[in-house]
Chains A and B, each alone.
Chain A
Amino acid sequence: MSLKPTIGIETHIELNTNTKMFCRCAVVDTDEPNISLCPTCIGLPGALPVPNKKAIEFITLLALSTGCEITSKGMFHRKNYFYPDLPKNYQISQFDLPVGLNGELEIVIDENKDYIQIERVHMEEDTGKSSHSGSGRIESATSTALDFNRSGVPLVEIVTKPVISSSKQAVAYIEELRQLSIDLNISEGRLEKGNLRFDANISVAPEDSTELGTKVEIKNMNSLRSLERAIDYEIQRQTKALEDGVEIVQETRHWDENKEVTSTMRSKEGSADYRYFSDPDLPNMFLSDQFIKEVETLMPLLPKAQREELMTTGLSLSQSNILSKSDDWIKKMYVKVFDQTKDSVASYNWITGELQGQMRKANIEVLPEWFNDDYLSEIIELIKSNKISFTSAKIILTEILTTETTPSKVAEQKNLFQENDSEKISEMINQIIKENQDIVDRIKSGEDKLVGFLVGQLMKQSNGSVNPGMAKELLFKELKG
């Protein structure tokens, strides 16, 4: 029996609005608890919610950017459940009238495009944070500390249809969604800060089955790595269970980061009935055509379009994808350097390879202010016109990353300009031949590859300033006629 996994992902993105979703408390990034609170976000008697227009704008932007149909007559619902960090003991969310429905997101895996269908994009408010002492779980905690700074921070939830078939696809989807939220400027997109949080619904069924298997929800995956491992683990666990004839139970499972296993949190039988109903404190929300048009004008160039644009410069899909998911300055630098050099591969390699590699190695997070985009173009041009060698170019880059100077100055100071004058090179070759008569003899008797050794000697003596291609050519001419 051949089995296939089916995965759906629910992602919560914390929006980077200045204030909370239903009150005007500042959204703060601090470990100091309970400093940004008001009657509304801690649920005092008599306090009322008032929607944050910016948050609705952000959610609409995300819905539009994923090609969703916009529900112009949206509605806020109350999702009822008791939990100490949920101040009203209901969460204001959306139910049957979410902001966006039926969208799609293009993802890239290597050189292939894929499309993940989005079921819905909706708004909700975040809860506070609980710290359970003792076991870490509420059921057995001896005490629980509560921080309501996060309570009421706007979240957007994006739910995919059950269309994902591998952990690789899941990771590519989250990477794409993360970049989208950054490019839309609606979130910092920092996974380590919990800006994006995701749960996966996983089932396994026979390859030829038209029905999905029993769904298991996996929670507590805090990184892309844990998403990938948790999905792989769960597919394996369910596959083995089915092969062994063990029934899969519909349940929520917890990913244990250290043990790298999933374990039962709660079974679905005991799950809550959320008793959704429209929030009477929040009259129906009308997203007018005018509002939607205004939001559309805020739409930046989306990652998908960025990739298409990058591919027209000659980059491959995967290269374009990597660039589209890079920091903004990298994207901009590529565009500028390509514009000047018209060499997509060299521009791409120098920026994503050498430059970022050297920065990482030297622990440089931000480019020094003197570092000019033109410098990379200059370096590329110097290589192409044979004025410097690739080795020299790397040395130049190292220098301009740490010292305020220019590539040509470095080349001059360090004597890195290549010798391209064949007469001068020939003079040097004659010297090398004299010094290495035994090698010369062996080359003449057929050991051609030793020419490389002589070129090496030549480079050494000239401090790398000789054009190695020309040197090789001239050596062959000299020795083999």
Chain B
Amino acid sequence: MDASNLSIREINSLFTKKELKPSELYSKVFENAANSEAALHAHLTLFEEENIKKAAESDKRFSNGESTSLLDGIPIAIKDNINIKNYKTTCSSKMLSNYTSPYDATVIEKLKEQNTLFTGKTNLDEFAMGSSTENSAFGLTKNPWNTDYVPGGSSGGSAASVGARSSIAALGSDTGGSIRQPASFCGLVGFKPTYGTVSRFGLVAFASSLDQIGPITKTVDDSRIIFSSISGEDSRDATSVINNQLDIPSDNTATIGVIKELMEDGISDEAKNEVNKVVEILKSKGYKVKEISIPIIKLSISIYYLIAPAECSANLARFDGVRYGLRVDGNTSYEMMENTRAEGFGAEVKRRILLGTYALSAGYYDEYYGKALQARKEMIDEFAKTFKDIDYLISPTTPTQAFKSGEKTSNPLEMYMSDLCTIPANLAGLPAISIPTGLSKDELPLGVQVMSKPLSDNSLLDFSEIIENEVQFDGQPKGWL
């Protein structure tokens, strides 16, 4: 038995029964990391030394029967845009290559309370901007199913880490699909909770109104366990909400909508087939399934690429060489700031800062950013209307299977299109999950996405678990070994 293949609940049960020790599990995942890192480059840093100590403490708690947490001794990988006190937070940027955070993100505090182990920090597209983890200043990450392919992004390192079993689960952040898309590409569950249910305090902001931390796991239940551990209102995040969950049915009294606009041109047949497969299963179980049209979804990418860059243009202004991070000298303060930003940011980050600065500029604001806000509001209203009759919305997670490394790097627009299906949930603040359902003819994973109304995360997870149980996806990649 390979413990690194097990779910969190299974592992905890073995820990409790003293059939497996946290230190043994940690040795296993570390060994997996040691074997796969050279091929995959999922992590930017691995915290071996401190984990040996922490795992031994977990051992003791379990051997004394004192452990109370499902996450005690569970090795979790952390995307490197989430602050862990006294560790580097680089955001895969040259700008922060030597930056050490003096404080913990709220999610890290919460996981520390649960005695979770942090295997290390994972690679990402610089400042979470990208869909392939190719925009990292520290080298790209490969897909554990086939290293010719990207793992998706921006949480590609987190997905590759769990895919390679170098960690049991991982935290990612999702601004336009950055959890769900890499999870789908790597045959994993990726869950973006309702906006505000998980505190953003300590997550390095890309686009504040869209960013949300969430888990990348092997099973829906693992996502559930992590979500329940990291969620909750936080007095340090003014956008956080009280996690008062709505109870909507997950059994076959629920009504399912298939989003018409995400089953049209631009979506591969393989991706559509996965949705159809799930729909057939649900129908056979007695669920009512309808086709639903939400025309404004077609504007998602346009809306997103005005709002996200606008917010990022301000959020990333603080990286100026004055107080921390990279500093490139100049003759005056302004020259120093200019030189620092010119050298510290990569091309994609600069592109988005410029795009956002332009969209907010005098004379252009109304035409671009203002209109995008208006359209976003309309989209929120449209979803609210849809959820009056529909409990869950199903679509592909991504238009295609994972693409090859380098395939889309020279065509940003094509890269942006890979987030078509995932962006609407960020714009509307909805909970959304990607569930692995099958393999493409290239033997690469494919997934379906399910969305539901805000604050129905738990019901969404219950419903997703039903799908998960029905499709029986064999989630073990063979490629990287």
Binding site for B on A (CB under 8 A): 39, 42-51, 78, 80, 82, 84, 87-90, 138-141, 144, 146, 273, 275-277, 280-283
CA distance A50 to B237 in the complex (A): 7
**Contact pick for A45, options B83, B209, B313, B334, CB 8 Å:** B83
- Which residues from chain A contact B314 at a C-beta distance below 8 Å? 78, 80, 88-90, 275, 277
- Which residues from chain B contact A283 at a C-beta distance below 8 Å? 238-239
Residue contact A141 to B201, C-beta cutoff 8 Å:
no
Residue contact B105 to A46, C-beta cutoff 8 Å:
yes
Residue contact B101 to A45, C-beta cutoff 8 Å:
yes
Residue contact B324 to A44, C-beta cutoff 8 Å:
yes
- Which residues from chain A contact B81 at a C-beta distance below 8 Å? 46
Nearest CB to that of B341 among chain A residues? A82
Residue contact A45 to B318, C-beta cutoff 8 Å:
yes
Residue contact B207 to A280, C-beta cutoff 8 Å:
yes
Residue contact A89 to B317, C-beta cutoff 8 Å:
yes
Residue contact B201 to A45, C-beta cutoff 8 Å:
no
Smallest beta-carbon distance B16→chain A, Å: 35
Residue contact A46 to B323, C-beta cutoff 8 Å:
no
CA distance A275 to B365 in the complex (A): 8
Residue from B207, B317, B365 with most neighbouring chain A CB atoms (10 Å) = B317
Smallest beta-carbon distance B104→chain A, Å: 10
Nearest CB to that of A282 among chain B residues? B238
In terms of DSSP, what is the predominant structure of the interface of chain A?
loop
Task: Report 26 cross-chain contacts, Cβ distance below 8 Å, ordered by A residue.
Answer: A43-B318, A45-B96, A45-B204, A45-B318, A45-B319, A46-B89, A48-B201, A48-B237, A48-B238, A80-B314, A82-B317, A82-B337, A84-B320, A84-B322, A88-B317, A89-B317, A138-B332, A138-B334, A141-B332, A275-B360, A275-B361, A275-B362, A277-B360, A280-B239, A281-B205, A281-B238
CA distance A105 to B475 in the complex (A): 71
Residue contact B365 to A277, C-beta cutoff 8 Å:
yes
Nearest CB to that of A80 among chain B residues? B314
Residue contact A82 to B334, C-beta cutoff 8 Å:
yes
Residue contact A49 to B204, C-beta cutoff 8 Å:
no
Nearest CB to that of B356 among chain A residues? A275
Smallest beta-carbon distance A84→chain B, Å: 5
- Which residues from chain A contact B235 at a C-beta distance below 8 Å? 50
CA distance A144 to B320 in the complex (A): 14
**Contact pick for B200, options A44, A48, A141, A276, CB 8 Å:** A48
CA distance A39 to B324 in the complex (A): 12
Number of A-B residue pairs having CB atoms within 8 Å of each other in the complex = 112
CA distance A39 to B310 in the complex (A): 23
Known contacts being A82-B334, A88-B317, A89-B320, is A44 close to B207, with CB within 8 Å? no
CA distance A276 to B369 in the complex (A): 11
Smallest beta-carbon distance A129→chain B, Å: 14
- Which residues from chain A contact B96 at a C-beta distance below 8 Å? 45
Q: Which of B215-236 contact A (CB under 8 A)?
A: 235-236
Residue contact B236 to A50, C-beta cutoff 8 Å:
yes
Residue contact A281 to B83, C-beta cutoff 8 Å:
no
**Contact pick for B208, options A82, A275, A276, A280, CB 8 Å:** A280
Residue contact A139 to B332, C-beta cutoff 8 Å:
yes
Contact with A along B74-102 (1 / 0, CB 8 A): 00000001110000010100001001011
Nearest CB to that of A78 among chain B residues? B314
Residue contact B204 to A277, C-beta cutoff 8 Å:
no
Residue contact B365 to A47, C-beta cutoff 8 Å:
no
Nearest 9 A/B pairs, CB to CB: A89-B317, A280-B209, A280-B208, A275-B360, A45-B204, A43-B318, A46-B202, A273-B362, A88-B318
**Contact pick for B103, options A44, A51, A89, A282, CB 8 Å:** A44
Residue contact B89 to A45, C-beta cutoff 8 Å:
yes
Nearest CB to that of A130 among chain B residues? B333
CA distance A277 to B315 in the complex (A): 12
Smallest beta-carbon distance B309→chain A, Å: 12
**Contact pick for A80, options B317, B332, B337, CB 8 Å:** B317
Residue contact A48 to B236, C-beta cutoff 8 Å:
yes
Smallest beta-carbon distance B347→chain A, Å: 20
CA distance A47 to B236 in the complex (A): 9
CA distance A240 to B27 in the complex (A): 84
- Which residues from chain B contact A88 at a C-beta distance below 8 Å? 314, 317-318
Would you call B455 an interface residue if the criterion is a C-beta within 8 Å of the partner chain's C-beta atoms? Answer: no
Residue contact B91 to A45, C-beta cutoff 8 Å:
yes
CA distance A88 to B323 in the complex (A): 10
**Contact pick for B320, options A46, A47, A82, A275, CB 8 Å:** A82
- Which residues from chain A contact B207 at a C-beta distance below 8 Å? 280
CA distance A141 to B314 in the complex (A): 26
Residue from A44, A46, A84, A283 with most neighbouring chain B CB atoms (10 Å) = A46
CA distance A283 to B365 in the complex (A): 20
CA distance A431 to B256 in the complex (A): 121
Smallest beta-carbon distance A90→chain B, Å: 5
Nearest CB to that of B320 among chain A residues? A89
Nearest CB to that of A38 among chain B residues? B103
CA distance A71 to B44 in the complex (A): 48
CA distance A276 to B235 in the complex (A): 26
Q: Which of B310-354 contact A (CB under 8 A)?
A: 310-311, 313-314, 317-320, 322-324, 332-334, 337
Smallest beta-carbon distance B199→chain A, Å: 9
Would you call B402 an interface residue if the criterion is a C-beta within 8 Å of the partner chain's C-beta atoms? Answer: no
Would you call B203 an interface residue if the criterion is a C-beta within 8 Å of the partner chain's C-beta atoms? Answer: yes
Would you call B167 an interface residue if the criterion is a C-beta within 8 Å of the partner chain's C-beta atoms? Answer: no
Residue contact B208 to A281, C-beta cutoff 8 Å:
yes
Q: Which of B381-426 contact A (CB under 8 A)?
A: none
Would you call B357 an interface residue if the criterion is a C-beta within 8 Å of the partner chain's C-beta atoms? Answer: yes
Smallest beta-carbon distance B325→chain A, Å: 8
CA distance A109 to B298 in the complex (A): 64
Smallest beta-carbon distance A28→chain B, Å: 19
CA distance A84 to B239 in the complex (A): 28
Nearest CB to that of B311 among chain A residues? A280
Smallest beta-carbon distance A199→chain B, Å: 21
Contact with A along B109-139 (1 / 0, CB 8 A): 0000000000000000000000000000000
Smallest beta-carbon distance A75→chain B, Å: 12
Q: Given A44-B103, A282-B238, 8 other A-B contacts at CB below 8 A?
A: A43-B323, A44-B323, A46-B105, A80-B317, A82-B320, A87-B323, A144-B333, A276-B360
CA distance A44 to B91 in the complex (A): 13
- Which residues from chain B contact A273 at a C-beta distance below 8 Å? 361-362
CA distance A280 to B103 in the complex (A): 22
CA distance A87 to B314 in the complex (A): 12
Residue from B83, B238, B361 with most neighbouring chain A CB atoms (10 Å) = B238
CA distance A6 to B313 in the complex (A): 38
Smallest beta-carbon distance B429→chain A, Å: 12
Residue contact A46 to B238, C-beta cutoff 8 Å:
no
Residue contact B238 to A50, C-beta cutoff 8 Å:
yes
Nearest CB to that of B241 among chain A residues? A283
Smallest beta-carbon distance A5→chain B, Å: 29
Residue contact B203 to A46, C-beta cutoff 8 Å:
yes
CA distance A353 to B357 in the complex (A): 61
Known contacts being A138-B332, A277-B360, is A51 close to B238, with CB within 8 Å? yes
Known contacts being A46-B202, A46-B204, A277-B369, is A89 close to B318, with CB within 8 Å? yes
CA distance A283 to B195 in the complex (A): 12
CA distance A82 to B317 in the complex (A): 8
CA distance A89 to B321 in the complex (A): 12
Nearest CB to that of A88 among chain B residues? B318
- Which residues from chain A contact B103 at a C-beta distance below 8 Å? 39, 44, 47
Known contacts being A84-B322, A277-B365, is A46 close to B205, with CB within 8 Å? yes
Smallest beta-carbon distance A280→chain B, Å: 4
Residue contact A275 to B357, C-beta cutoff 8 Å:
yes
Nearest CB to that of A39 among chain B residues? B103
- Which residues from chain B contact A48 at a C-beta distance below 8 Å? 200-201, 205, 236-239
Smallest beta-carbon distance B82→chain A, Å: 8
CA distance A277 to B333 in the complex (A): 26
**Contact pick for A46, options B201, B313, B360, CB 8 Å:** B201
Smallest beta-carbon distance B437→chain A, Å: 34
Known contacts being A138-B333, A277-B314, is A44 close to B101, with CB within 8 Å? yes
- Which residues from chain A contact B337 at a C-beta distance below 8 Å? 82, 84
**Contact pick for A42, options B200, B239, B323, CB 8 Å:** B323
